[in-house]
Structure 1
C-alpha cells in the first residue's frame, strides 16, 4: 500500500507480535511498543487450534511449535469420573495441508518463538513504554510516548488487550467487558493424556491440554457469584476441594496439590468476561486487533487463534493496492463473523455449564464451532 512505511503496534502479546512479523515481511518499519519490561507473558499453557496454526504456518514457526509443544487432533470428553463420552475431531484448516488439529505449548515458549521471528524482520521493540496521546492528521499520526519521545507514524495498531488504552482513546464511551459468573484456574501438571481432554461435572468442568512430551496444562472452570480475585493463600485449598469430586487420573493432581508439589505460585486464577466491539474497528489511521475488539472466554480455546487470524487479515489488506480506509473496512468485513462466532459460542458454552445443560449439547456446539472455524477465511 502506498503511503505506509512506518507503523506502531501497541501491545507485545500474541496478536501484536504476529502483526509485527507480517508487516516486517512487507518491508515496513515497525515499532512494537510494550508497557512491560519484557515480552514474556504471565500464564501457563495455551491451546492453538486451526485458525492459529494456519497463521503460524504462514509466518514459518509451525515446526518449532510442533517441536516444543504437544500436538493433538481431538477433544475427548469424559464424565467427571473418567468415562469416555465422545471424541470430537478438531479440524485442521480445509485450505491448509499437513497441520495438526491443535498444539498446546507454554505461553512463555510461544512468546520466545515469536520474539525470535520478529528479529528476522528487524522489528524495533520499545519496552517499558506506551502511547500517552495521539493526534491524527490526513497522512500521519503524531504520538507522545510515556518516555517523553515524540514519534510520527503512518499507521497505529492497537493490540493492547482487554483493557486497551488505544481503544479507550478511540472510544472513551466503551462500556467494558461483561462478567460471565465463571472463573478459570490454570496450572501446569504432568502429562497423562494424548489428546485435549475435558471432564464434565454438573456446572463445572476441568480439562487437560498436552503442552510438551511430559507436561499438560490443566484448566478448571467454576461458577462464581462475584468478579473478584482469590487471595494467594486460598488457591491451593480451594482448587483441591473443587477437584475432589472428579475421578480418573484427577485425584493424582489433587495429591500433588496437597503434598505441596503444586503450590499457590503455580496456580493462575481469573474471573471470565467478554466483549465484542460493534463500532468501526478504526478511526482514521488507528486500527484495533485482538482482545481490544473481541475478548472471549476460553471455552473454545480459540481466543488466541482468532486474534492472530485478525492480524493476518489486517496485514493482507494493508498489502493490497487500496486506500487505508478500504483496508480497514475490508479487514472487519472478512473477520467480524468469525470473531463473533468465537465470542458468542464460547459465552454460550459457559452458560450451558451454569445452567446444567447436557454434556451432549455442549459437545455438539463445540463440534459445530470447530467445523466452521476450519473453513477458509472469506476473501
Structure 2
C-alpha cells in the first residue's frame, strides 16, 4: 500500500523475515511420508472476508491472480460465512506478493534474517534514519541496514520480551504512539496441531470439508477444528500421482494446549499425538454413527501423523484501532491484533497494513525528498 501511494521509483522495500520463506499465518508445512513430499496448511486453514474493502480490494486482486479461491464446500458444511483459501497452497498468496514486490528489481526480501534491534539514529541522512541490525540464521553473518520508514508487523517486536527490537528510549520518544498493552493483556492463544495423511479417502467422509467439533459434535472434546485438507480447491490428489491422497489438519482447544505446552514445546509429544489421534477417530466415528455401520476399528491407520505446538496461534484479543504510528520518526506497527470492523485473521492483518500504509504515505509525502 505504501509503495502504491508513493511516486514511482521513489522508494524501495526491504523485508526482514525470520522464516525461510513467505507465509507467516498462511504458512504451510512440508513433510516427507511414504517416499513422497506432502504439505499441510497448518496455520490458518482458511480465511473469511467480512468487509467490503477487503472483498473488493486485496481478495479480488488475489483471486484475479489465481492465488486465492472460494472454498464453497466449507461454507456449505454448516451455518457459516464464505471461506477462502490460498491456491494451490495457503502460502501462495504471500509468495505472489513477494514476486510482485521483486518485479522491479529494487525491493529486497531477506528471509532467514533475525532482527536483533532497530534504533533511530538522528545523525543518519538529513532527518535521521532507522538502523536495523540483523543476523542471518544460516551463515550467522551480521549486518546493519539504514531505512527511512520502519514497519513492524508482530506485537512481540514491541512488547517487553526476548523478541522486542525497540529500545525504551525510542519507545519513550514516540510518546505512547507505538505503545502496546503488555503480553499479559494482549497475548496469544496456543494450539496443538495434528497432521494426518491416509492412502485413500476415509469411507463416508469424502464430502466433509470443515468441522467445528465443539459446536457440531462434542463440547468437551480436546479438538476444536477438523479441516479436510484434500477437499480444498485444487488440492485433490489422484492415486496415479501419489500414494497419500487424503490429508487432514486438526487444531486442539486452547485449554488442551495450555495443559500440554511448556513454553514453545510439547511436554510429551508421543502422549499428545496418541491422545489427539484417538480423539480424531472418536469424532469421525460419532459423525458416522447415525448414517453408517462403521466403527472406529474400521478406519485405517494413518500412514503419516505428526503433532506440533503452535504457541502464538491467534491474538487473545484485538485492539480497537487499526494501527499505531509515530509520524515524526516514520515508524508504525500493524497486524491481526488490530480490529477493523468485524475482521479477524488474514483479513484483519491486511486491513491493518493497508491503513498504516496510507497513514505512512501521507507522512512520507510531506518530506521534501519524496514530495519533489
TM range (shorter): 0.5 to 0.7
| Structure 1 pair 274–24 and aligned structure 2 pair: CA distance change class (3 A) | farther
Task: Return the offset for 1:314.
Answer: 2.1
* 2:117 alignment partner, one of 132, 137, 148: 132
User: 1:197-276 alignment to 2 at 5 Å?
Assistant: 197-199=211-213, 200=216, 201-204=218-221, 205-208=224-227, 210-213=231-234, 214=236, 217-222=248-253, 223-224=255-256, 225-226=258-259, 227-228=261-262, 229-230=265-266, 231-246=268-283, 247-248=286-287, 259-264=301-306, 267-271=307-311, 274-276=316-318
Instruction: Give the equivalent residue in structure 2 for 1:155.
Output: 149
User: 1:330-341 alignment to 2 at 5 Å?
Assistant: none
Instruction: Give the equivalent residue in structure 2 for 1:347.
Output: none
CA shift digits 1:26-59 (9 cap, x unpaired): 6431111123443364543231321565443465
* 1:282 alignment partner, one of 313, 325, 333: 325
User: What secondary structure does 2:282 align onto?
Assistant: coil
Instruction: Give the equivalent residue in structure 1 for 2:239.
Output: none
TM-score (normalizing by structure 2) = 0.58
The RMSD of aligned alpha carbons is 4.4
Aligned equivalents of 2:180, 2:80: Cα separation in 1: 41
Task: Return the offset for 1:116.
Answer: 2.0
* 2:131 alignment partner, one of 128, 135, 143: 143
* 2:17 alignment partner, one of 12, 26, 34: 34
Instruction: Give the equivalent residue in structure 2 for 1:366.
Output: none
Conserved in 2, the CA contact under 8 Å of 1:187 and 1:218?
A: yes
Aligned equivalents of 1:173, 1:88: Cα separation in 2: 32
Tell whether 2:349 aligns with 1:311: no
Structure number with the higher helix fraction is 1
Instruction: Give the equivalent residue in structure 1 for 2:137.
Output: none
| Structure 1 pair 255–75 and aligned structure 2 pair: CA distance change class (3 A) | farther
Instruction: Give the equivalent residue in structure 1 for 2:80.
Output: 88
Tell whether 2:95 aligns with 1:56: no
Instruction: Give the equivalent residue in structure 1 for 2:242.
Output: none
* 1:114 alignment partner, one of 97, 102, 119: 97
Conserved in 2, the CA contact under 8 Å of 1:290 and 1:311?
A: yes
Unaligned runs of 5+ in 1: 1-18, 78-85, 91-100, 326-379
CA shift digits 1:141-172 (9 cap, x unpaired): 23042254443322100024656545754478
Aligned equivalents of 1:134, 1:315: Cα separation in 2: 21
Conserved in 1, the CA contact under 8 Å of 2:226 and 2:250?
A: yes
| Structure 1 pair 133–320 and aligned structure 2 pair: CA distance change class (3 A) | closer
Task: Return the offset for 1:124.
Answer: 1.0
Conserved in 2, the CA contact under 8 Å of 1:236 and 1:257?
A: no
Task: Return the offset for 1:202.
Answer: 1.4
Task: Return the offset for 1:111.
Answer: 3.2
Aligned equivalents of 2:310, 2:191: Cα separation in 1: 6
Instruction: Give the equivalent residue in structure 2 for 1:353.
Output: none
| Structure 1 pair 290–216 and aligned structure 2 pair: CA distance change class (3 A) | farther
Task: Return the offset for 1:119.
Answer: 1.9
CA shift digits 1:286-341 (9 cap, x unpaired): 101115x449xxxx99412210121122223344478779xxxxxxxxxxxxxxxx
Conserved in 2, the CA contact under 8 Å of 1:206 and 1:219?
A: yes
Tell whether 2:174 aligns with 1:175: no
| Structure 1 pair 282–136 and aligned structure 2 pair: CA distance change class (3 A) | farther
Task: Count residues in correspondence.
Answer: 279
| Structure 1 pair 249–112 and aligned structure 2 pair: CA distance change class (3 A) | farther
TM-score (normalizing by structure 1) = 0.57
| Greater Rg over alpha carbons, structure | 2
